[in-house]
Amino acid sequence: MYNFSSIARYMEDVVCDQKHVPGCDILITHNHRPLFRHICGYSDTEKCIPLTDNHLYYLYSCTKPVTVSAGMRLWEEGKLDLDRPVADYLPAFTDVKIQKGDTLLKPDTVMTVRHLFTMSAGFDYNALTDAVKETIARENGHATTRQIVDAYAQKPLCFEPGTRFQYSLCHDILAAVIEEAAGMRFSEYLDNILFTPLEMKDSTFDDTESVRARLAAQYRSDNDGTVTRTSDNNHYRFTDRYESGGAGLISSAHDYAVFADTMACEGTAANGYRYLKPETVKLLRTEQLSSFAVDRTFSCAAGPGYGYGLGVRTRLNRDAGQRSPIGEFGWDGAAGSYIMCDPVNHISIVFTMHVLNWPACIGSDHAVMRDMMYEILSI
């Protein structure tokens, strides 16, 4: 029997007490078997409401591993080609331009679906452009994912596709590509291939009244460590019909842990459902930037030793003494959520909290708890 009390104390004494995170939740799973769960602190400190396993969170960028895995499911089925032009799926991107000095020109390189997966398509994270605002206004606040993504095509690219990594709206655009390739709304496709088969009943893009009633209160950390209550809104939910593939998912820690465990077990869920083939998961976590990007600007909040695969960080080396194995992969979210999938040992970690301006508030604590877990398991 493993003793995870050191992680529990770290969450309570360091994350909550020293760094003023109101509450947090961690789940560690091995081969579909829960090893450890600890919930501490409050959902709402002002109302003294304890955090529980019933609370939901905006996952923000922890949406991205779900989106890219869904894209790889389409690739596996032969419905999505990583090296086809984005414009083949989204015609609005046929005439995309790049800013070169004072001139707008056609890029020398054709933007492909792979560039979207790898954040190397040339976009930035400036979402509410004039074209997007006009689209939202024209649709009376009900613009769809496809309509808003089409508006992104009007903004000039920052650089030639494939020349470097830049964290951006690529996975929002990928969600629209998935819609086109699947022939249905992004959320409907996720329901069909992931949420329903894995019984992820808490996972949604719709912040309905019943969903908002279960949301953990959202906070924001200032750079000086002060944590204050903020609005319970996801600022990437631009309309009631926009499903952000980069930051729009709402879920519970339990639901997200089901997904993490499935990915850590090479695409097979605890109930036997095969979400992805092992070779597809391997490709997803295979480092991509060095093979085609000129300027490697990727950096990782989980610490050194990582590269970037098809939309996830992936462990390339353990030169700095980290405990997780080569091939471990995952991502983080703006309010502090964290996913780690270890397909070598079939171990996953999901950590949730609801404090914006991460990692300013807790820094590298995800990596600390990750390494503590491996030490406890003697791996």
Q: For residue range 278-322, what is the model confidence (pLDDT) as tens digits? A: 999 999 999 999 988 988 888 888 889 999 999 999 999 998 888
pLDDT tens per residue, range 47-94: 999 999 999 999 999 999 999 999 999 999 999 999 999 999 999 999
pTM, 2 dp: 0.97
Q: Residue 1 pLDDT more than 90?
A: no
Instruction: State the chain's mean pLDDT as an integer.
Output: 96
Whether the Cβ atoms of residue 234 and residue 247 lie closer than 8 Å to each other: yes
pLDDT of 13 strictly over 90 = yes
Q: Spell out the residues 6+ positions from residue 132 whose beta carbon is closer than 8 angstroms to its own.
A: 148, 151, 152, 238
**pLDDT, tens only, 121-177:** 999 999 999 999 999 999 999 999 999 999 999 999 999 999 999 999 999 999 999
pLDDT for position 363: 84
Tell which residue, 352, 356, 344, 346, has the closest CA to residue 369: 352
Residue type, 357: N
Residue with tokens 């604590």: 365
In this predicted structure, the answer to whether residue 358 has a pLDDT above a threshold of 90 is: no
Tell me which architecture the domain covering 5-55+208-238+251-377 has in CATH: 3-Layer(aba) Sandwich (3.40)
Distance CA 289, CA 297 (A): 9
What is the domain partition of the chain in residue ranges?
5-55+208-238+251-377
The distance of Cα 252 from the centroid of its chain, to the nearest Å, equals 14
Centre a 10 Å sphere on the Cβ of residue 272 and count the other Cβ atoms it contains.
8
pLDDT band at 21 (very low <50, low <70, confident <90, very high): very high
* Percent of the chain whose predicted confidence (pLDDT) is above 70: 100
Model confidence band, residue 371 (pLDDT cutoffs 50, 70, 90) = very high
Inform me whether the pLDDT recorded for 102 exceeds 90.
no
Scanning the structure block, which residue is given the tokens 């020109």? 105
